[in-house]
Structure 1
Amino acid sequence: MLEQYLPIYATLEERMRQIAAVDPLAASVHDPRLERSAAIRADLAARFGEGHTPAPPLPATERYTARLAIADTPALVAHHYLRYPGDLSGGQAIGALVARHYGVPAEQLSMWDFWAVGAPKRVEDRYRDSLDRITDPAVQQAVIAEAVHGFALAADLFEDPLPLTRTGDAPRPRLPRCGTAGASGTGRMRGARTGIRSARGR
């Protein structure tokens, strides 16, 4: 599954860096310490060896990355919120579950290691405060609408069959969902965050 996450995070992070350089709303939530693409590459190298070529993107992955590539600021903020606070709040727990259930060593679990962030709760609180400062109803609705679409795109990733391993003997093990499935801050949202919470319950 990490092989499918890689193009999603890489596209989201590149796009966010571009937009945050010129847009105050994107800049208010952008935090390079949250970026996961480098960690995913390290995990894949640790698991399959240096020079490993990731499996090609599934159709659902291609749809997701295509959406991110054209996202405007409110849409990008919605996708950014769906992924990173959930990764941050549930990262240690997910890493521990993967290690216990699949016997995956720590060097293959940096995707869920946020040591560089410091105190995760402070980062989460700053992130939520930034979203709560969105007062323009049109921007709020744009964020909410894209969040609805983002939930669907994320769910589709778990519908496409994963490619077989290099030997073709067995499917690659699925890792727990991250990002949207673990966004524990959703229930405490105000303003735009309240709308995302409501959309998630549909």
Structure 2
Amino acid sequence: MNKTMRVFIILCLVGSLITGCQQSPRKQYYLLSATPTANHGIEITRTLGLGPIDVADYLHNSQITTNRNANHLLTTDNAYWGEPLQKGIMRVLTVNLMNHQPDTIIEAFPWRSDSMPKFSLRLSIYDLQLINGEALINASWKLINNETKAVLTQQHFVRNKPSGDSPAQIAGIYSKLLVELAGEMNKAIALQN
């Protein structure tokens, strides 16, 4: 094989590699969403703490995952959370809780000792998954009086809803499950007024 032929073959191979790299699919990013805020200009009279929020280790994956069954995770191709899921849950719950209690500001854990809120919510999420077209949240939460260190209420929250398996549908249904969770938390908060 002569030198010209070798150079031609190498250039063809390099060109093929460059073309192949240019055609790889772009990453898509998805966010959890809160319900739209309807209240404007309301005076803040209370502070509520939120956190810590603990999530199962498998939820720390940046790719959106589904389950083939309870023991088998599948990652979606090129579909990623736009922020760590734990932070997205904090953000969405904060907005949803403020929508229920428009005179309350939510302060994320950790808070300063000189500005500790009287009440706080702690949350553990054990499962947030999609199996066979059903989205599921399995969580527990506590409402705590930070002054007395007393647990005022604690509840186990399990809900499921039908869902498609596209990343946008998964983000949307998880958002709806978090709206329902905030609603349950709000009922306990309202009793403390």
Per the normalisation by structure 2, the TM-score is 0.30
With CA pairs under 8 Å and 6+ residues apart, which has the higher RCO, 1 or 2? 1
| Structure with more of its chain in strand, by fraction | 2
Structure with higher Rg: it is 2
| Structure with more of its chain in helix, by fraction | 1
Per the normalisation by structure 1, the TM-score is 0.29
